[in-house]
A = this chain, B = another copy of it.
Amino acid sequence: MHVPEQRELPARDVVVVGGGIVGLSVAWRAARAGLTVTVLDPSPGDGATHAAAGMLAAVTEADFGEEHLTRLNLASAARWPAFAADLAAASGQDVGLQRRGTLAVAYDRDDLAVLRRVLALHRRWGLASAEVPVAEARRREPFLGPRLAGAALVDGDRAVDPRAVHAALTRALVHADGRAGSRAGGGALVRRAAVRLEQDHAGRVVAVHDDAGGRHTAGAVVLATGTPRDDTLLDGVPGVRLPVRPVKGLTLRLDAGPGLTPEHVVRGIVQGRPVYVVPRPAGTGTGPGSGPEHREVVVGATSDERPDDRRAEAGSVFSLLRDARALVPGLDEAALVDVTPRARPATPDNLPLIGATAVPGLLAATGHGRNGVLLAPLTADAVLAALTDGGVPLRLPADAPADLLGAADPRRFATTTRRAPEGAPA
């Protein structure tokens, strides 16, 4: 084994391990608040971010037994318009915010029964949705298929283009300057894998070692690792094996052209199976080709309790195409340009891990499951509040529960490994 020579790098306020949409959001917000930040990732944005469709679907993702998650999702959805505007201004890049809202549709009568149960849940939780006649749904969205049993409007559920968001975050991070009055902040993205955390004698995390021998001294370390493909990642700290499991998903990217593209996000239940069709606004999209003759549409997503093997099972592709064309038949004529299998990081209770861990100096920003894109702004603000000990206050909606972020506290899970920190008495 080749052991690289150790290189000492300039000390940073924060080192973020993982450069997906969550890690970069944390890093960018921290750099904007005047902190110096390094993000470590050998292939930034190539995890769940690369597959994500980018729905900001706090309402249509709401599910029985997940009220805590729904409240977190709503609080983050409320942040997205300003986050997208800030990011566009900081990066000079569009992030493909879809503003037309979502149509939730049911394919057959059994699916309509499911949809109505969910709409009743929305009413119970005070979420904005409204059943409409199918004819009304089709008037708003002429690309809907001929066979639908029911429909509902969810105006608040929108979408962004995660690949565009990631590109904008990368650019904004690297160009971030500290605010006036604070010491100069700034961001760096280092394309290296973190391989080990280093603790001092008191057990505080003080540095991250990368696979090229670099030692990144840090005031604090944020783990935004999603589902690491390599279980050996981040050796060297007791109790930091985060309780994250991979939930594999597959999305398809189509080039639909202007004549075949719906203007709303369409979420359906087709013979019991969930499927969604997410169009990018005209003139945006990160797929092959650009310009008015191209319109990107994302179809997703499967959910399988499987590791991130990056295999696009033919049966999953088949299933997504079958259900998407049932909702929007014109997609048959769109070109399939990309099939993206990735795993999402899920936790035992399907709530994320946001904030301080049991290890001093170590924070978490992961475990977001299906909602990583949606929860990125809230996660970034919450982690920044924790990093600055309230120096940057976490502003929440007036109607948010007082314990909103308590449900996402990483310390709710017991640590799984207990080894003596390096150099400490055994």
Residues of A within 8 A of B (CB): 252, 254-255, 311-315, 317-318, 321-322, 324-325, 331-337, 339
Contacts and interface: CB of A to CB of B under 8 A. Distances in A.
Contact of A322 (B311, B313, B322, B337): B322
A252 B224 CA distance: 36
Instruction: Please indicate which of the listed interface residues A254, A324, A336 has the most CB atoms of chain B within 10 Å of its own CB.
Output: A336
How many copies of this chain does the complex contain?
2
A254 to B, nearest CB: 6
A335 B334 CA distance: 22
Contact of A334 (B313, B325, B337): B313
A314 B318 contact: no
Contacts of A311: 255, 335
16 contacts: A254-B314, A255-B311, A312-B335, A312-B336, A312-B337, A313-B332, A313-B333, A313-B334, A313-B335, A314-B331, A314-B332, A314-B335, A314-B336, A315-B333, A317-B336, A336-B339
A308 to B, nearest CB: 13
A337 B313 CA distance: 9
Given A252-B314, A317-B321, 6 more contacts: A311-B335, A313-B333, A314-B325, A314-B335, A317-B336, A321-B321
A393 to B, nearest CB: 48
Contacts of A324: 314
B321 A336 contact: no
Contacts of A314: 252, 254, 321, 324-325, 331-336
Contacts of A322: 318, 322
A334 B336 CA distance: 18
A317 B322 CA distance: 10
B325 A318 contact: yes
Contacts of A331: 314-315
